[in-house]
Amino acid sequence: MLDLFANFSTVTFQQIAMWIIGGILIFLAIKKEMEPSLLLPMGFGAILINLPNSGAQHIIDVLFKFGISNDFGELMPLVLFIGIGAMIDFTPLLTNPKLMLFGAAAQFGIFFTMCLASFVGFDLHDAASIGIIGAADGPTAIAVSMELGSKYIGAIMVAAYSYMALVPLVQPPIIKLCTTKKERLIRMDNTAGKAPSKLTKILFPIVVTIIVGLVAPDAVALIGFLMFGNLIRECGVLNSLSETAQKVLANLITIFLGITIAARMRAEEFLTVDTLLIIGLGLFAFIFDTFAGIMLAKIMNLFSKKKINPMIGAAGISAFPMSARVVHKMGLEEDNQNFLLMHSIGVNVSGQIASVIAGGLILTFFR
């Protein structure tokens, strides 16, 4: 009889703290509807892995080994990129290619934070892994930190995915702080340019993969799987496969990825001063990326007759399509006739490409 209650005496305050953290993630998923397919399994996984003598520990470790560890090529993040690529419509970007500039600008925070992390004491590989949190792209953060062998993979994964989910809370105050009322009221021309042909849409993912492969070979796996998913979407002969990739595949991998991340959320590894510092640096990277995109729009407005609403620059992070929706919603709040969705989506998808390239460049320079 006593054996039934033996585990009660082995529970630590650190484990209880992780149960609370798991509960908070579950609350955000259910009550606030923030990326529930991701935060709910992450939260529940954090509880599972931090039960004394947890019977789930072995299976979660197995999932981590075969799904995330670089022994098997970060399988889950790469497969998830197929689903993400199938979701993305590059038409707004192809219609207005200069939107790619905002996606590039919004990656500055990655490299700035990497330098800051190195300055406060993290070694170069860990600092580079921490900086990639600013991309707001969980799969890229996992792939980069695993390839660089970071000691803080758990904190990095949790920070990257948490900030993806918290985009609707984090970005609006930053955008308002960096823009004036007059700037937020700028209306942009929603008259679509020349629509890209079907051939252009098919060639785009192929050409991007080749170019990125030549410039940043270490990014080929990331960009290749993303663009392969998009090619499935645009080829026109695999519609059922495209829908499966967008819905069934992406949702299934997201669920398993969320619960597998818990393998690196053990109390003794996670509840450290370094973890808090990493989460803080990740937030800084996220803020600085948003700031950089907005500032580029402001600079372009100094030389352009057709003014750009600076808010669209904030969508240059890789959190697709949450960031684009946030910008569009804020535009409607300022002026119910100000439709920024097309422009913000174009910037958002360019940020998806730019974040993968940034991850590949970090691997090329620092691996």
- Assess if residue 17 is contained within a domain: no
**291 in any annotated domain:** yes
Dist. CA 36–CA 247, nearest whole Å: 14
pLDDT digits (tens, 9 = 90+) for 264-310: 788 888 888 888 899 899 889 889 999 999 999 999 999 888 889 99
pLDDT for residue 48: 92
Rounded distance between C-alpha atoms, residue 316 and residue 358, angstroms: 13
Q: Which residues of the chain have pLDDT under 50?
A: none
Which pLDDT does position 336 carry in this prediction? 87
CB 130 within 8 A of CB 277: no
How high is the pLDDT of residue 364? 83
**pLDDT given for residue 96 in this prediction:** 84
The per-residue pLDDT for 16 is 93
Whole-number pLDDT of residue 27: 92
Judge whether 54 lies within some domain.
Answer: no
Q: Where in the sequence is the domain holding 283, given as residue range(s)? A: 61-366
In angstroms, the CA 90 to CA 343 distance is 11
Are 127 and 117 in contact, with CB atoms under 8 Å apart?
A: yes
Angle at 22 between CA 21 and CA 23, to 5 degrees: 90
pLDDT score for 222: 86
In a domain, 28, yes or no: no
Contact yes or no for 167/322 (Cβ under 8 A): yes
Query: Is 21 inside a domain boundary?
Result: no
pLDDT in tens, 139-180: 888 888 888 888 888 788 888 877 777 788 889 999 999 999
State how many domains the chain has. 1
Q: What is the pTM of this model?
A: 0.85
Q: Note whether residue 13 is domain-resident.
A: no
pLDDT at 106: 83
Name all contacts of 292-295 with Cβ < 8 Å and 24+ positions apart.
Answer: 292/105, 292/106, 292/107, 292/108, 292/109, 292/316, 293/102, 293/105, 293/106, 293/317, 293/347, 294/175, 294/178, 294/179, 295/105, 295/178
